[in-house]
Amino acid sequence: MTPIERSEPGRGTHASTQVQPMFHRVLSARPITVRDTLQDIRRRFHREVSDDTLGRLELVLAEVMNNVAEHAPEAAAGPEGDARLPVIHLCIVRHANGLACALTDDGVSLPEECVLPRSLPALVMDDLPEGGFGWFLIQDLTQALCYYRESQRNYLAFSIPFAQTEEA
């Protein structure tokens, strides 16, 4: 945590309006489009944000957006189904302590257990789990994760903290 310095009101205002890199994109929930978007995000932030933080951001966003794609309504699966794929709105802003992310989509409602605290799937050596890791990773790597659904859209917001050496 970086302590907030007490300073003259004028200076405080100046600091909070400092220009920070951000990223905004509207995309179809399709794995290949998600992949392109993640690579664009990396290019957008690579000068200001460490590889470690970018790696955590990329993993969380891949899990969230591919979940939307994976759970798209059945009707969207046809060859000409693009128009009915869920549409994701993504916004990332760099803050003093990390990257604040907000996503909305018009896919299916998120089951409550996704955002409730969860642990890893049971590790049974003879029958290893092949899935169920996504939401564990999202919860493990994010801070202030919150979710709500309104007017047929999911809203998800969270923050990816910087590594301790990186705080600006």
Q: How far is the CB of 167 from other proteins (least distance, A)?
A: 20
The single residue among 25, 48, 59, 155 that binds other proteins, judged by CB under 8 A, is 59
The single residue among 48, 108, 134, 153 that binds other proteins, judged by CB under 8 A, is 134
166 near other proteins, rule: CB under 8 A: no
Asked if 29 contacts 69 with a C-beta cutoff of 8 angstroms, the reply is: yes
Q: What is the rounded distance in angstroms from the CA atom of residue 38 to the CA atom of residue 25?
A: 11
Q: How far is the CB of 67 from other proteins (least distance, A)?
A: 9
The single residue among 21, 133, 143, 152 that binds other proteins, judged by CB under 8 A, is 133
Tokens of 109: 């409602």
Q: How far is the CB of 60 from other proteins (least distance, A)?
A: 10
Buried b (16+ CB within 10 A) or exposed e, 36-55: ebbeebeebbeeebeeebbe
